[in-house]
Every structure is written in structure tokens, then in C-alpha cells.
Amino acid sequence: MLRSAIAVVGLALVLASQTPADDRLPPWTRGTLDYHQISTGRGNAALIVFPDGTTMLVDAGAAGDGQAMADTEPRPNGSRTAGAWIADYLHSMNVARLDYALLTHFHVDHIGGINDVGDRVAIATVIDRGHEYLTPPDDDATFRKYRAFLQAQGARGVMPEAIRVGRADQIVLRRDRAAFPSVEVRNVAANGDVWTGRGDEVTHIFPPPASLRAEDRPSENMCSIGLRLRYGRFDLFTGGDMPGVPDAGAPAWQSVESAVARAIGPTDVHVVNHHGSIDPESEGFLSTLRSPVMILPSWSPTHPSQDALKRMLASRLYPGPHDIFATVLRAPTRASIGARADQLKADHGHIVLRVAPGGESYRVFVLDDTTEARAILGVFGPYEAR
Ligand SMILES: [Zn+2]
């Protein structure tokens, strides 16, 4: 359900500018940057189509796949695995090949579906956070399955690359880089390494694990990859499940968001960290990024938490819009959040951010995630890039 007059106006504009029966997303065109947060109800998956047609998948989650009692709400339905639906979405957007598949960290709601994607869509380059810092244990079923994915890719000649934090030359346009010099993908964080914002300089924010009490050691979420996409004046940040509000009594360095915010500063759009659950979207992160648009990759009943949503909507932190677009808002979540849930611009759907050629402005399309037709439910913007 969409709850905004702007949505109604936006939809009317789109319908007026197309044939009445055409309620599908207009195809990507050269010069445009598209970011799609794909709704599977089972974790994160995002498709990026760069202005020259270079394609990248960020994560392929599959929480609860194949589990009869799983507490998930598969979209559009449970007839296929999450990975198969992600591949179907890619095909529906005319993406036959991925130049990059990047996995932010080794949890099932971020990597569980990558095997099924890899079986259906060719991948040229796989990037993950590397296996040396905080290696998942051998009995971790998700990581075992991921190793099988890497083996299958290896058989096709694709070797994984570990993210090189601080660099802006690892993920580059592959089709026509010279035509779009203002596009940049900056590797901002992973494994406690965080870009400082100066050149390619990196600082390491985690103390040596051996010096820490067991309960204070860095977690898998804290090791998430963070990326900043730039196109002209426009920028977007996505950071997996990195936390921003340390648990009570935990050390301040555990707010990976703090170091990231210092490096990137004001950011037009950010993908909400850790699904908006209890520990991300700290006050400092929000008031530094000042994002008018936030994409919330929610799937579980704990997404978003009441506190995180309240912070994200707080008009005292910065002026202007705080427009939040959620992939799935579960019924128990809506019931517990109450009236504040009505302030979401979308409470379900594939969230598609379309950045105009040159990066001057962008719009948000919400596509129906309950059927394969993926009809437009609403259009928001244009927003001016800052
Ligand atoms: Zn997650």
C-alpha cells in the first residue's frame, strides 16, 4: 500500500506519459544509472546497471529457503528459491550477464541464493570480503554452500577477488568507461578497514582480536563491505549489515557507521544498514549523510525496529525529505510500530532508483513484488542530486 499524495500524482504522471496499459518500468537506457533493490522476502539482493550497461549484483539472500517452518514471506511466492527469483528478475530487466557479483558478508540472507543465481546467469567477476579475516567455521552450512558456489565459478574460470578497501579502481565500468568519467565506485569498508575519505587511504578501526574479551570481538556483520556509488553529483551508499549503535556496554569502535560517515559525508541515497534492525542507523550516521531517500531492504518481522525507524524519520537531524522505501513490511511489524509505519513511502515492492544521465536528478519507482508482472505501484521525485 502506498500512502502519499506524491505517489498518486507521480503515478498519474507516468500513466499519462505512456500508453494506458503500459504500467511496466520503462527499460534502462544508456546514460542512466539504475539501482534495483529486489524484493524476495528472504534477504538482500540489488541489481545495479551503470550508465554504460555494466551490471553488478550486490548480495543474493535466501533466508529460510527450503525450510517449511521458515519465518519468511517469499515474494512473489515460494514456488521458486530466492536465487531463482533473483535470476528471473535479472532476466526480466534484460540482464543476461553480470559483470560483477559482490557479496557483502557471509550470512544466509546475503549469500544463500548466489548458487542459484550463478547457475542461471553468467558472472564475470566475484568479489567478497575475503576469507582471511574472521573466517566462518567449517560447520557453517551457509559458508559451505558458498564454497561450493566458488568452486562452480572456479570451474568456469572465475576466481573470487577480495575487496580492496579504499580503492576506486577495482569495480569499474566494463563496457564504455571512457564515455562516463564521472562514475566512481569507491570501496569504503570491510573487515574493520575503512576508507578515510583522502585518496586511497585506509584506517583499521578494530583492535587486535586477541586483545579483546570474547563478547567484544568483531562480528560477521561488522565486517560487511560498504560501497559508495557516484555519478556526477549523485551518490549512494550501501553497507550490508554494518552496525552503528553498539550494544549496551560494548566499545564505541563497534559503530562501523561512525568511521564510514566521516569518510563519505552527505550522501543522496543510502541503503539502510542491517535491514533497519536494532543496531544500525545511528544518529551520527544519519545526521552526517542527510539522505533524503533511504532504501530499506527489510524481510523479517524485526525490520525495521521501532527505534531505528524513529531515528530515520527524525526531522530534527536534518531538514528536507526523509523518504523511506521498504521492500517488505510484515504484518507483526506494522502492528508493533503503529502509526509511524504509515510514514513509509512504500511498505512493499522492488525499489528502483533511476538516476538521470549525468547524475543531476533521480526518481524512485516502486514495482509490485507480489506478482511476476512487476507493475509500477508508484513513482516518486524527481529529487535533485546535491
Ligand atoms: Zn542481513
Ligand 1 geometric centre to CA of 273 (Å): 9
Ligand 1 geometric centre to CA of 275 (Å): 6
> pLDDT for 299-334, tens place per residue?
999 999 999 999 999 999 999 999 999 999 999 999
Q: What average pLDDT is seen over the chain? A: 94
Ligand 1 geometric centre to CA of 43 (Å): 6
What are the φ and ψ backbone dihedral angles of 269, each rounded to 5 degrees? -130, 135
Ligand 1 geometric centre to CA of 327 (Å): 13
Ligand 1 geometric centre to CA of 226 (Å): 13
Residue 181 has pLDDT above 90, yes or no: yes
Picking from 211, 233, 172, the residue whose alpha carbon sits closest to that of residue 361 is 233
Ligand 1 geometric centre to CA of 110 (Å): 6
State what percent of residues in the chain have pLDDT above 70: 95
pLDDT (0 to 100) of residue 154: 97
Residue 52 has pLDDT above 90, yes or no: yes
Ligand 1 geometric centre to CA of 242 (Å): 9
Ligand 1 geometric centre to CA of 179 (Å): 35
pLDDT (0 to 100) of residue 128: 98
| DSSP for residue 112 | T
Instruction: Report CA-CA distances (Å) from 287 to 147, 222, 266, 267, 281.
Output: 39, 21, 9, 10, 10
Ligand 1 geometric centre to CA of 348 (Å): 17
Ligand 1 geometric centre to CA of 8 (Å): 32
Ligand 1 geometric centre to CA of 59 (Å): 10
Ligand 1 geometric centre to CA of 99 (Å): 23
> pLDDT for 88-100, tens place per residue?
999 999 999 999 9
User: Which residues, other chains included, contact 369 with Cβ-Cβ below 8 Å and sequence gap of 6+?
Assistant: 39, 41, 75, 76, 327, 328, 348, 349, 350
Ligand 1 geometric centre to CA of 235 (Å): 22
pLDDT (0 to 100) of residue 255: 98
| Paired strand residues for 90 | none
Ligand 1 geometric centre to CA of 17 (Å): 38
Ligand 1 geometric centre to CA of 300 (Å): 10
Cell numbers found for residue 363: 526518481
State what percent of residues in the chain have pLDDT above 90: 90
Give long-range contacts, CB 8 A cutoff, 24+ apart: 287-290. Answer: 287/317, 287/318, 288/261, 288/262, 289/237, 289/261, 289/264, 289/265, 290/266, 290/317, 290/318, 290/320
Ligand 1 geometric centre to CA of 222 (Å): 11
pLDDT (0 to 100) of residue 12: 41
Ligand 1 geometric centre to CA of 178 (Å): 35
User: Which residues, other chains included, contact 214 with Cβ-Cβ below 8 Å and sequence gap of 6+?
Assistant: none
Q: How far apart are CA 24 and CA 90, in angstroms?
A: 15
pLDDT (0 to 100) of residue 67: 85
Q: How far apart are CA 180 and CA 183, in angstroms?
A: 6
Residue 17 has pLDDT above 80, yes or no: no
Ligand 1 geometric centre to CA of 58 (Å): 12
Ligand 1 geometric centre to CA of 240 (Å): 7
| Paired strand residues for 365 | 352, 379
Residue 20 has pLDDT above 50, yes or no: no
Q: How far apart are CA 335 and CA 344, in angstroms?
A: 14
3-state SS record for 44-111: CEEEEECCCCCEEEEEECCCCCCCCCCCCCCCCCCCCCHHHHHHHHHHHCCCCEEEEEECCCCCHHHH
| DSSP for residue 205 | -
Residues, CB within 5 angstroms of ligand 1 (ion): 109, 241
pLDDT (0 to 100) of residue 315: 97
Would you call 183 helix, strand, or coil by DSSP? strand
Would you call 12 helix, strand, or coil by DSSP? helix
> pLDDT for 271-290, tens place per residue?
999 999 999 999 999 999 99
Q: How far apart are CA 203 and CA 309, in angstroms?
A: 30
pLDDT band at 131 (very low <50, low <70, confident <90, very high): confident
> pLDDT for 22-46, tens place per residue?
799 999 999 999 999 999 999 999 9
Query: How many residues does the structure list for the chain?
Result: 386
pLDDT (0 to 100) of residue 328: 97
> pLDDT for 197-250, tens place per residue?
999 999 999 999 899 999 999 999 999 999 999 999 999 999 999 999 999 999
pTM of the model: 0.94
pLDDT (0 to 100) of residue 70: 80
Ligand 1 geometric centre to CA of 107 (Å): 7
Q: What's the one-letter identity of residue 72?
A: T
Ligand 1 geometric centre to CA of 133 (Å): 19
Alpha carbon 77 to its chain's center: 21
